[in-house]
């Protein structure tokens, strides 16, 4: 039932541990019930602390909500940048490497607990906290899209892809790679590994049909490497 840090039977020890446990439980409850439906008592129980401790740490429900979104944004950003750092700059097998990257992106950033929660909170409550989610937009997509676009630009510069606008290409890449998961995402579900792989494979193939250079560069490089060996 409870995900992550704190089973109720083992109350978290230490000030910081409690803070994290509260934020985690709050994320879960806010997601399930929405801001209005979220019950502080339930959050407290789920975090394994008393209600008063929740108030001691975070003031009131609204401040707690803000803390949750900030925390999730930060953690998701970390994950996304970590994943972007695994982007195949010098691909051995472009198709396979891009599929692998797409799958990692999905599993580690979009389908994991933090990603699901943050996405749902954004969708659900963005109109109630415009400033908060404007902040998210800057620190989240505002940082990650350019980072990803830069990697595609490098791939194009290296002769692996024929791309006009790396920003557009980056967005289209993710759009393609997630094309078959949209309904599942809408319903808040988590796709099976198999579906993720399938969608990524189809997406990358289409992406390469549009932007690939017919493997000429890669093939020739591989051949020259073989020749050198």
Which of DNA, its own copies, none interacts with 220 (beta carbon under 5 to 8 A by kind)?
Answer: its own copies
Determine if 183 is a binding residue for its own copies (CB under 8 A). yes
How many binding residues for DNA (CB under 7 A)?
A: 21
Q: Which does 133 bind (CB under 5 to 8 A by kind): DNA, its own copies, none?
A: its own copies
Smallest gap, in angstroms, from Cβ of residue 4 to DNA? 17
Residue 124 interacting with DNA (CB under 7 A): no
62: contact with DNA by CB under 7 A: yes
Using the rule CB under 7 A, which residue among 26, 48, 80, 173 binds DNA?
48
Which of the residues 26 through 45 are near its own copies (CB under 8 A)?
A: 32-37
Q: Report how far residue 69's alpha carbon sits from residue 128's, in angstroms, rounded to the nearest whole number.
A: 13
The reply on whether position 27 binds DNA by CB under 7 A is no
What does the binding site for its own copies look like in residue numbers (CB under 8 A)? Answer: 32-37, 119-120, 122-124, 126-127, 133, 137, 141, 165, 168, 171-172, 174-176, 178-180, 182-183, 186-188, 202-203, 206-207, 209-211, 213-214, 216, 220, 223-224, 226-227
What does the binding site for DNA look like in residue numbers (CB under 7 A)? Answer: 11, 13-15, 18, 38-41, 48-53, 55-57, 60-62
């Amino acid at each position: 039932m409870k995900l992550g840090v704190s089973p109720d039977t083992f109350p978290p020890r230490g000030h910081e541990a409690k803070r994290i446990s509260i934020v985690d439980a709050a994320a879960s409850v806010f997601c399930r019930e929405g801001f209005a439906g979220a019950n502080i008592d339930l959050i407290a129980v789920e975090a394994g602390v008393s209600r008063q401790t929740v108030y001691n740490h975070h003031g009131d429900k609204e401040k707690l909500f803000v803390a949750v979104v900030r925390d999730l944004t930060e953690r998701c950003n970390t994950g996304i940048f970590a994943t972007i750092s695994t982007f195949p700059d010098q691909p051995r097998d472009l198709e396979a490497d891009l599929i692998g990257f797409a799958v990692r992106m999905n599993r580690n950033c979009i389908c994991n607990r933090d990603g699901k929660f943050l996405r749902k909170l954004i969708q659900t409550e963005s109109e109630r906290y415009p400033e908060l989610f404007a902040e998210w937009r800057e620190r989240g997509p505002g940082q990650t899209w350019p980072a990803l676009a830069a990697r595609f630009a490098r791939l194009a510069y290296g002769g692996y892809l024929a791309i006009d606008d790396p920003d557009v290409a980056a967005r289209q890449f993710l759009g393609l790679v997630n094309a078959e998961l949209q309904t599942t995402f809408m319903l808040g579900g988590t796709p099976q590994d198999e579906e993720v792989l399938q969608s990524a494979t189809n997406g990358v193939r289409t992406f390469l049909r549009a932007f690939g250079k017919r493997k000429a560069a890669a093939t020739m490089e591989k051949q020259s490497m073989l020749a050198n060996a």
